[in-house]
Amino acid sequence: MPSHPAPSNPAPSKPEIDPEFQALPLAKLAQTALNRARDFEAEHADFRIERLRTQRLTLRDGGLLDASEDDTLGFCVRVIVDGAWGFAAGVGPTTDAVVRVTEQAISVARAARPIVAERIELADEPAYADRVWVSDYEVDPFSVPVAEKVGLLQQWSRDLLAANGVDHVSAVVRQVRENKFYADTHGTSTLQQRVRIDPELEVYGADSKRGVIDSMRTTAPPAGRGWEYLTGAVHDWAGELAELPELLAEKLAAPSVDAGRYDLVIHPSNLWLTIHESIGHATELDRVLGYEANYAGTSFAKLAGLGNLQYGSRHLNVTGDRTVTHGLASIGYDDDGVATQEWDLIKDGVLVGYQTDRRMAKMMGWDRSNGCAYADSPGHVPIQRMANVSIRPSPDPTSTSDLIAQVDDGLYVVGDRSWSIDMQRYNFQFTGQRFFEIKNGELRGQVRDAAYQGTTTEFWGAMDAVGGEETWMLNGAFNCGKAQPGQVAAVSHGCPSALFRDISILNTTAEGGR
């Protein structure tokens, strides 16, 4: 595994870090913990204090169902003593509490030492002192009055309810501001803040004559942005919302798909989820090594395949990236104190890398971690979590229309919906919000009840072309789950539109065939 140079310290963005968090004696608390760990001759110790603020707004037919908010402040200490991990967490940020929690972490490590099978060591990493990183956004969503946010969602809901064929409307916005201070015994100290937002509107309708009930959802992805995402020029909300009722009406009247084999052109709003499940999870090294076998599963992409497994066609070039602007998994420094990076996972269709933290990088004999340690709260220990795993676009200016023009008999897939994949991330099935028929290089109307299926290597091996940079976009999710006790992380996946040949299409009602 090649090493990667540490990036220069990212310049803070315009928004200020939460003043209440900065007012805490962060450096003093950290030094208290680290000095106490040194008293017990810990080989490594790190201190992390976080404030995690979340808000969820939920409306049904324009009426407010939920306006809930959560504000968590806590700290934790992690140590390595005689080759064993120790971890403990607390909620009262005082020096006495920090000393007590540090001693608890030491006790846990000592108790664990006789029963653990492997000695814990960490890959080397340069020290980063007094670094500050703030994600790229304009308006802190927590600075906007709740009434103003609800008012915008109510107006959108009323407009949608006024459209023909729309029986119900749901609107949900999730918002997160994450503050984190980290320091370790090797000299790193980082102060970071990132904001993310996840807006979603869905319309529901029915065709009583056919006995069909269905819905149509927005495809605007969650993003590492602020409230400007809903009010600025970043996304054409007016245009997308105006289309939803027409798309729903067309879907309700659409014929059921004939099962068979089709060429597919898949839009990034759908393909991101296939990337997440069949590439993102499969290239997590902890899964490959079996550490998630009891819960999240393992991976077919074994170590023996590194450098030679033909994961897909030559058009498949995939990176892990924790630095991309507005990425949900983007951060300056991870929870191991590693400066984040971009690196290759798949190159010209061949598996060339994995996602790692410092412990696994050391186990493999690699020079550095690629910065994938993350804990979703101050009460949880950091584990290896997914980076923004993304497919590179074509260097040529190939549009989605150009890809569609290459298809005689196929489907164009837009928006994600349901999915299923086995525990080794190999056999899968995905549906979508919209399936449009393609005939002789031109789009026709929608069809219903379609799902595409395959195996990971078969599917990505069928990739025949990818769109250019103009088709590339970031999508993602807030709710990637992993570990025991369970942790949830947000992650983005960028990709262009892509063309796949001869893919199996199921009719999900078990009707139809060809």
Residues 279 and 248 in one domain: no
Are 163 and 245 in a shared domain?
A: yes
Tokens (6 digits) for 203: 């319309």
Both 201 and 268 in a single domain? no
Where does a domain end: 253, 269, 296?
253
Q: Is position 286 within any domain?
A: yes
Residue 11 has pLDDT above 90, yes or no: no
Q: Give me the residue label for tokens 């030559």.
A: 314
Mean pLDDT for 456-478 is 98
Angle (deg, nearest 10), helices 237-253 and 146-161: 40
For the entire predicted model, the pTM comes to 0.95
Task: Find, among 389, 404, 388, 395, the residue nearest to 497 by Cα.
Answer: 404
377 within some domain? yes
Please list, in sequence order, all residues whose beta carbon lies within 8 angstroms of the beta carbon of residue 32, skipping any fewer than 6 positions away.
Answer: 95, 98, 99, 102
Q: Based on the domain organization, do 266 and 154 belong to the same domain?
A: no
Q: Which residue has the tokens 């300056």?
A: 332
pLDDT score for 153: 98
Q: Which of 253, 276, 296 is the last residue of a domain?
A: 253
pLDDT digits (tens, 9 = 90+) for 39-94: 999 999 999 999 999 999 999 999 999 999 999 999 999 999 999 999 999 999 99
Q: Quick one: pLDDT at residue 8?
A: 39
Q: How confident is the model over 327-353, as a mean pLDDT?
A: 98
CATH number, domain with residue 53: 3.30.2290.10
CA 340 to CA 333: how far, in whole Å?
A: 5
Mean pLDDT of 249-271: 97
CA atoms of 342 and 128, how far apart (whole Å): 18
Look at residues 231, 253, 275 and tell me which one is the last residue of a structural domain: 253
Average confidence (pLDDT) over 95-116:
97
Mean per-residue pLDDT of the chain: 95
Q: How far apart are CA 244 and CA 171, in angstroms?
A: 13
Least confident of 5-9, 316-320, 386-390, 422-426: 5-9
Tell me the pLDDT band of 7, cut-offs 50, 70 and 90.
very low
pLDDT in tens, 106-153: 999 999 999 988 899 999 999 999 999 999 999 999 999 999 999 999
Q: What pLDDT shows up at residue 1?
A: 41
Q: Are residues 131 and 242 in the same domain?
A: yes
Digit-coded pLDDT (tens) for 212-228 = 999 999 999 999 999 99
One-letter amino acid of 301: A
What total number of domains does the chain contain? 2
| The pLDDT value given to residue 510 | 66
Residue 238 lies in a domain: yes
pLDDT, tens digit (0-9, with 9 covering 90-100), for 386-422 = 999 999 999 999 999 999 999 999 999 999 999 999 9
In a domain, 431, yes or no: yes
**What pLDDT is recorded for position 117?**
86
In a domain, 13, yes or no: no
* 8 part of a folded domain: no
Higher pLDDT, 511 or 172: 172
In a domain, 512, yes or no: no
Q: 513: pLDDT confidence band, cut at 50, 70 and 90?
A: very low
Min mean pLDDT across 202-206, 208-212, 239-243, 358-362 is at 208-212
- At 15 the pLDDT is 82
**Whether 314 and 445 share a structural domain:** yes
Same-domain pairing of 308 and 415: yes
- For 485, residues 6+ apart whose C-beta sits below 8 A from its C-beta are 380
Whether residues 207 and 347 fall in one domain: no
Residue range 227-241: average pLDDT? 96
Same domain, 386 and 306: yes
Examine the domain organization and report whether 214 and 310 are in the same domain: no
Binning pLDDT at 50, 70 and 90, where does residue 273 land?
Answer: very high
Quick check: 514 pLDDT over 70? no
Radius of gyration of the chain (CA): 24
Residue 216 lies in a domain: yes
Give the structural domain span for 292.
Answer: 260-507
**Alpha-carbon separation of residue 285 from 40, 258, 299, 353 (angstroms):** 32, 39, 9, 9
